[in-house]
């Protein structure tokens, strides 16, 4: 199995170059994990974390099952030693021998040949230690054993926190999830618990390690940076796109660099054709780095673009380090792309004001000099144990991201720095990764040792990944200005605010900003997500940024700055436009929902499958326990109650007689609310692209799950899509039509929003129906012509429902709206048809006079498509489902159908252990089924009857479905 640290591209720097150089990988299964305290000694791996080896050895159960999180706390409270088998192949006469670790999690004490080497205290740093002397006194090969002892991170965090004179913060500043004091240590912050995940605080050598032996005047390149930018470019400022490219390369080495060494480069395309090559000039070398640069004329290379905005052109660049006699000392190959990406926070210009854009500052991304609409979500650590995350898992997630019409992920700040393979895959898939230093929802110490440690961590990770074209931004951390400093300001007064703002600036502006700006000209930095951006930017100052904080007129007087982050757990917020924030960009918003029954079954016993079973409750970490209390019933219940209230307020409440089917129906209902809310919010934010706030981004919370629990995720732990991922895919189409309704006044307006880069003109249609599907003669236009500008929105219908629907019972009215337009994607000449439809209902669906749509489902073996048909009523929230054992993504789902309307639905199989048998488990249901109490069996068990989802009726029914399609075509023609 290829693990993350073994990414193919990243190893280029790790190959030995000269014959005397030896690079011995320490990855593999030749390790033992032991803890004398708990009398455990088991076979182990590197890379790994103790929980994984204990689980593999049968010492502990699956950590993610049931409430094992709580019963396995002893693992986090123990010390663990990883001991290698004797290391062979070392020569005793090399001039120097080194240990190189790409990641030790976290407090490690290292010994070799029984002798102490060094200690470490930062999960995110690369460490290298010379062990030449120890080796020379360790002649016996059997003694050449490496041992790495990991102290308990929670215990050490507590010890650091209680040191005399240690920094303190006012109550409420540190967001405590489970283990406290995470802000004192440089370890993945969510390892101590978060509101969507468990708290395992794992320990171990989570990244690969090597022993390197060097001869005289030899070097080993342990890390490198390639920075590609337009000549004259400065961070955070839009560059001149006609300038040539500058490639700045810098190699970090240990060993002995001979005098007179030189650097050269070769740039090749993916077919291995050399595009450009030559010497690097402006050489600069220290005892740790060697740096040079070259200019590549504009036009030599093709640009890299994000998904759906153009091709993902990539190149390989090899940087060669040679001695004065031209022998090779080292060589690094990295895959790169040529693009500029800028977080544009410049003041709104006169030209923008003249277009009707509100004063204030921009807050959006420019790719290769073009504004674009960022569509996406927030990425959390995909597993509580990074050491078992495979490239395949990341790739599957990225396939879902692209299939979901997303072009950007915000890689949230309190996980781990992304492995190289994640950026490699993002480069290929065209996914922009807004990256963050790992600080969030706390304020942090600023003593010199802490700052130095952070600076090292930042340098290593920043330099490691800077060459990737998918890298979109560096942010200092999560919710620091808008949450942490706000808490201080609100509850502790101006003096405390001044103190903690100064400390915040020491770390996030004084320490992290230089780590970015001194290493790169190509990438933007913001100290905090979320913020009001910079107030001034002046590169003649040593620290060019002055943050705005709240020092400016805000949206209340028509000026707009910065991005928004919005959560409101009162479900009344749905459809209430005035509750949503007006900003330039939305980087977070959301509401939690339950995972599917199929997922629950993977991590919870059958007896616990009920909405408020202790196990289900205690896996809801919203709200978090706030400590190590293992019976967090009150906080968990509040989170469960929010989902329940949301369902009860808006939708038919399931009441199935079979308890498991009822649980499943409730899980599904919470997912429908979640999707409805996100649809409403995405449509609201996207419409802002045509409003004065010129809103240019929507990233919802959160892309995926790291276990099975109620969370904000759209993708469940095994890759199954919740309702959300389907509907976000729909709302992230390029051209969308959406209703905006004011429940109080009855004002309804419908808008078309487009993120295409050219104006689009076409027609929209409107049809009113009752729930049986009979068309109503409501006195409104049936169609309208529209013109929507590039990345813009336009209103296409405006009415007051009480005026036009006076004689109708609002519980029996739905409006179907469609848009269809011809246009092209950016950077493409191909004409495409963009279609979208949407529905409006003036009352909550719980009050709607739903009619059984009598759904039919067929499957065609030849086309590999399902066909869903509604026959007797409007089908709301049509949902195709499938049983356990496979992960399948339908091309569309959670859509609506008119009677006599069919939809063909294709699919992509992510994984299948059923040998295709999953097809027989597919069912279809709609919101009407949520009103039915009759229950036979449960989803995935294949049985069904009235009131339960309809299983497909087999290939024989395909012929019938064709005639239904013909009927539909006739109906559409009749309507037009």
Catalytic residues: 479
Cβ of residue 196: shortest distance to ligand BMA, in angstroms?
Answer: 5
Residue 196 as a binder of ligand BMA (CB under 6 A): the answer is yes
Other CB atoms within 10 Å distance of the CB of residue 293: 17
- Part in contact with ligand BMA (CB under 6 A); list of ranges 143-151, 192-200, 638-646, 753-761: 192-200
Residue 366 as a binder of ligand BMA (CB under 6 A): the answer is no
Residue 762 as a binder of ligand BMA (CB under 6 A): the answer is no
- Part in contact with ligand BMA (CB under 6 A); list of ranges 194-202, 206-214, 313-321, 827-835: 194-202
- 736 φ, ψ to 5°? -125, 155
Q: Which of 478, 762, 858, 931 binds ligand BMA (CB under 6 A)?
A: 478
List of residues 6+ apart from 963 with CB closer than 8 A: none
Distance CA 424, CA 472 (A): 14
Which residue, 645 or 847, has its beta carbon nearer to ligand BMA? 645
Residue 573 carries which DSSP code?
G
- Part in contact with ligand BMA (CB under 6 A); list of ranges 38-46, 188-196, 485-493, 925-933: 188-196
Cβ of residue 636: shortest distance to ligand BMA, in angstroms?
Answer: 14
Which residue, 373 or 589, has its beta carbon nearer to ligand BMA? 589
Cβ of residue 194: shortest distance to ligand BMA, in angstroms?
Answer: 6
Short-list 586, 736, 590, CA closest to 677: 590
Distance CA 316, CA 163 (A): 50
Q: Which conformational region is residue 479 in: left (phi greater than 0), alpha (psi within -120 to 50 degrees), or beta?
A: left
Q: Which of 53, 69, 191, 195 binds ligand BMA (CB under 6 A)?
A: 195
* Packing angle, helices 448-465 and 420-429, rounded to 10: 40
Which residue, 148 or 475, has its beta carbon nearer to ligand BMA? 475
Cβ of residue 588: shortest distance to ligand BMA, in angstroms?
Answer: 5
Distance CA 220, CA 283 (A): 18
User: What are 169's two structure tokens?
Assistant: 């913060």
Residues in the interface with ligand BMA (CB under 6 A) total 10
Residue 730 as a binder of ligand BMA (CB under 6 A): the answer is no
List of residues 6+ apart from 441 with CB closer than 8 A: 174, 175, 189, 414, 478, 479, 483, 484
Q: Which of 218, 383, 479, 705 binds ligand BMA (CB under 6 A)?
A: 479
Distance CA 743, CA 761 (A): 30
Q: Cβ-count burial of 503 within 10 angstroms (0-12 exposed, 13-18 middle, 19+ buried)? A: middle
Which residue, 645 or 837, has its beta carbon nearer to ligand BMA? 645
- Part in contact with ligand BMA (CB under 6 A); list of ranges 160-168, 190-198, 461-469, 657-665: 190-198
Cβ of residue 478: shortest distance to ligand BMA, in angstroms?
Answer: 5
Cβ of residue 441: shortest distance to ligand BMA, in angstroms?
Answer: 5
Distance CA 778, CA 364 (A): 41
653-712 residues in contact with ligand BMA (CB under 6 A) are 701, 712
Q: Which string of b and e fits 692-725 if b means at least 16 CB within 10 Å? A: bbbbbbbbbbbbbbbbbbbbbbbbbbbbbbbbbb
765-804 residues in contact with ligand BMA (CB under 6 A) are none
Which residue, 196 or 866, has its beta carbon nearer to ligand BMA? 196
CA distances (Å), origin 793, targets 19, 199, 408, 691, 736? 64, 44, 21, 8, 9
Cβ of residue 576: shortest distance to ligand BMA, in angstroms?
Answer: 20
530-589 residues in contact with ligand BMA (CB under 6 A) are 588
Paired with 33 in beta bridges are 42, 82
Which residue, 6 or 587, has its beta carbon nearer to ligand BMA? 587
Distance CA 851, CA 870 (A): 11
Which residue, 651 or 701, has its beta carbon nearer to ligand BMA? 701
* Packing angle, helices 391-403 and 420-429, rounded to 10: 30
- Contact flags string 581-600 toward ligand BMA, x per CB under 6 A: -------x------------
Which residue, 478 or 698, has its beta carbon nearer to ligand BMA? 478
Paired with 879 in beta bridges are 925
Residue 194 as a binder of ligand BMA (CB under 6 A): the answer is yes
Residue 174 as a binder of ligand BMA (CB under 6 A): the answer is no
User: What are 121's two structure tokens?
Assistant: 């205290």
- Rg of the Cα atoms in the chain: 29
Paired with 248 in beta bridges are 227, 293
Distance CA 851, CA 773 (A): 9
Cβ of residue 455: shortest distance to ligand BMA, in angstroms?
Answer: 24
Cβ of residue 747: shortest distance to ligand BMA, in angstroms?
Answer: 31
Other CB atoms within 10 Å distance of the CB of residue 147: 19
Beta strands in 871-939 (DSSP E): 875-881, 886-890, 895-897, 901-905, 907-912, 923-925
Which residue, 588 or 852, has its beta carbon nearer to ligand BMA? 588
Question: Strand, helix or coil at 328?
Answer: strand
Cβ of residue 479: shortest distance to ligand BMA, in angstroms?
Answer: 5
Which residue, 265 or 412, has its beta carbon nearer to ligand BMA? 412
Cβ of residue 858: shortest distance to ligand BMA, in angstroms?
Answer: 41
Which residue, 450 or 566, has its beta carbon nearer to ligand BMA? 566
Other CB atoms within 10 Å distance of the CB of residue 439: 26
* Packing angle, helices 633-650 and 659-687, rounded to 10: 70
Cβ of residue 481: shortest distance to ligand BMA, in angstroms?
Answer: 13
Which residue, 205 or 476, has its beta carbon nearer to ligand BMA? 476
Residue 441 as a binder of ligand BMA (CB under 6 A): the answer is yes
Q: How many Cα atoms sit within 13 Å of 159 on the Cβ side? A: 8
Paired with 822 in beta bridges are 833
The residue ranges that bind ligand BMA (CB under 6 A) are 194-196, 440-441, 478-479, 588, 701, 712
């Amino acid at each position: 199995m290829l693990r993350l640290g073994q990414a193919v591209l990243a190893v280029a720097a790790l190959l030995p170059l000269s014959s005397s150089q030896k690079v011995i990988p320490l990855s593999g299964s030749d390790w033992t994990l032991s803890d004398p305290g708990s009398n455990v000694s088991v076979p182990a791996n590197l890379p790994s974390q103790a929980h994984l080896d204990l689980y593999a050895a049968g010492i502990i159960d699956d950590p993610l099952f049931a409430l094992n999180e709580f019963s396995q706390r002893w693992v986090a409270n123990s010390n663990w030693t990883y001991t290698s088998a004797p290391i062979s192949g070392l020569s005793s006469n090399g001039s120097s021998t080194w240990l190189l670790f790409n990641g030790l999690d976290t407090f490690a004490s290292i010994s070799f040949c029984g002798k102490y080497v060094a200690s470490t205290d930062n999960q995110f740093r690369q460490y290298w230690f010379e062990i030449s002397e120890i080796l020379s006194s360790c002649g016996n090969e059997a003694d050449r054993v490496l041992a790495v002892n990991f102290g308990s991170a929670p215990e050490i965090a507590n010890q650091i926190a209680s040191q005399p004179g240690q920094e303190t913060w006012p109550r409420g500043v540190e967001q405590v999830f489970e283990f406290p004091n995470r802000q004192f240590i440089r370890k993945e912050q969510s390892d101590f618990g978060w509101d969507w995940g468990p708290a395992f605080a794992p320990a171990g050598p989570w990244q690969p390690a090597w022993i390197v032996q060097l001869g005289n005047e030899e070097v080993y390149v342990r890390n490198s940076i390639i920075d590609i930018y337009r000549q004259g470019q400065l961070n955070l400022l839009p560059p001149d796109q006609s300038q040539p490219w500058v490639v700045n390369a810098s190699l970090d080495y240990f060993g002995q660099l001979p005098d007179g060494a030189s650097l050269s480069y070769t740039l090749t395309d993916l077919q291995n054709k050399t595009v450009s090559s030559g010497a690097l000039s402006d050489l600069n070398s220290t005892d740790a780095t060697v740096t040079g640069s070259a200019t590549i004329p504009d036009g030599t290379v093709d640009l890299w673009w994000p998904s759906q905005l153009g091709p993902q052109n990539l190149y390989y660049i090899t940087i060669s380090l040679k001695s004065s006699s031209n022998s090779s000392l080292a060589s690094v190959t990295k895959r790169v792309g040529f693009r500029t990406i800028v977080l544009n926070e410049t003041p709104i210009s006169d030209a923008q004001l003249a277009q009707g854009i509100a004063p204030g500052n921009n807050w959006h991304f420019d790719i290769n000099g073009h504004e674009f609409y960022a569509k996406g979500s927030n990425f959390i650590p995909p597993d509580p144990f990074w050491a078992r995350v495979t490239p395949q898992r990341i790739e599957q997630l990225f396939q879902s991201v692209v299939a979901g019409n997303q072009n950007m992920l915000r890689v949230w700040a309190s996980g781990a720095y992304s492995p190289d393979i994640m950026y490699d895959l993002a480069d290929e898939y065209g996914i922009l990764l807004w990256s963050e230093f790992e600080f969030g929802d706390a304020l942090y110490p600023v003593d010199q040792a802490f700052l130095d440690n952070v600076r090292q961590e930042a340098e290593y990770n920043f330099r490691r990944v800077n060459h990737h074209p998918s890298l979109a931004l560096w942010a200092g951390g999560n919710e620091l200005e808008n949450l942490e400093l706000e808490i201080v300001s609100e509850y502790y007064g101006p003096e405390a605010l001044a103190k903690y703002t100064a400390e915040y600036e020491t770390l996030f502006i004084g320490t992290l900003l230089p780590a970015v700006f001194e290493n790169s000209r190509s990438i933007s930095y913001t100290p905090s997500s979320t913020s009001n951006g910079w107030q001034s930017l002046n590169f003649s100052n040593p620290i060019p940024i002055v943050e705005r904080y709240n020092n400016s007129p805000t949206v209340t007087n028509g000026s707009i700055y910065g991005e928004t982050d919005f959560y409101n757990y009162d479900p009344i917020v749905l459809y209430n436009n005035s509750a949503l924030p007006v900003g330039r960009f939305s980087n977070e918003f959301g509401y939690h929902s339950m995972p599917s029954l199929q997922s629950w079954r993977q991590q919870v016993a059958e007896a616990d499958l009920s909405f408020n079973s202790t196990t289900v409750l205690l896996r809801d970490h919203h709200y978090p326990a706030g400590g190590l209390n293992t019976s967090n019933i009150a906080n968990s219940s509040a989170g469960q109650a929010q989902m329940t209230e949301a369902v009860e307020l808006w939708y038919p409440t399931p009441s199935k007689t079979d308890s498991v089917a009822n649980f499943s129906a409730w899980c599904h209902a919470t997912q429908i609310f979640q999707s409805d809310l996100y649809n409403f919010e995405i449509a609201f934010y996207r419409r802002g692209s045509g409003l004065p706030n010129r809103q240019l981004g929507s990233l919802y919370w959160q892309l995926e799950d790291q276990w099975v629990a109620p969370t904000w995720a759209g993708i469940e732990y095994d890759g199954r899509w919740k309702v959300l991922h389907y509907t976000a895919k729909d709302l992230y189409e390029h051209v969308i039509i959406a209703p905006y309704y004011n429940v109080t006044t009855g004002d309804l307006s419908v808008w078309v929003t487009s993120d295409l880069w050219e104006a689009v003109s076409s027609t929209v249609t409107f049809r009113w129906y009752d729930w049986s599907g009979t068309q109503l003669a409501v006195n409104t236009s049936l169609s309208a012509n529209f013109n929507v500008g590039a990345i813009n929105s336009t209103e296409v219908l405006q009415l007051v429902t009480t005026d036009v629907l006076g004689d109708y019972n609002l519980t029996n009215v739905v409006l179907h709206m469609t848009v269809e337009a011809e246009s092209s994607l950016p950077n493409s000449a191909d004409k495409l048809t963009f279609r979208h439809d949407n529905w409006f209902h003036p009352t909550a669906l719980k009050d709607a006079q739903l009619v059984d749509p009598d759904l039919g489902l067929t499957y065609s073996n030849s086309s590999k498509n399902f066909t869903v048909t509604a026959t007797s009523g409007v089908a709301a929230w049509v949902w195709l489902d499938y049983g356990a054992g496979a992960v399948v993504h339908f091309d569309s789902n959670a859509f609506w159908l008119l009677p006599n309307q069919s939809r063909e639905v294709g699919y992509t199989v992510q994984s299948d252990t059923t040998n295709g048998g999953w097809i027989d488990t597919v069912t279809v249901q709609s919101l009407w089924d949520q009103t039915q109490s009759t229950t036979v069996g449960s989803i995935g068990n294949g049985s069904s009857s009235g009131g339960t989802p309809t299983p497909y009726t087999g290939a024989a029914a395909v012929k019938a479905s064709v005639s239904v399609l013909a009927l539909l075509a006739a109906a559409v023609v009749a309507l037009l």
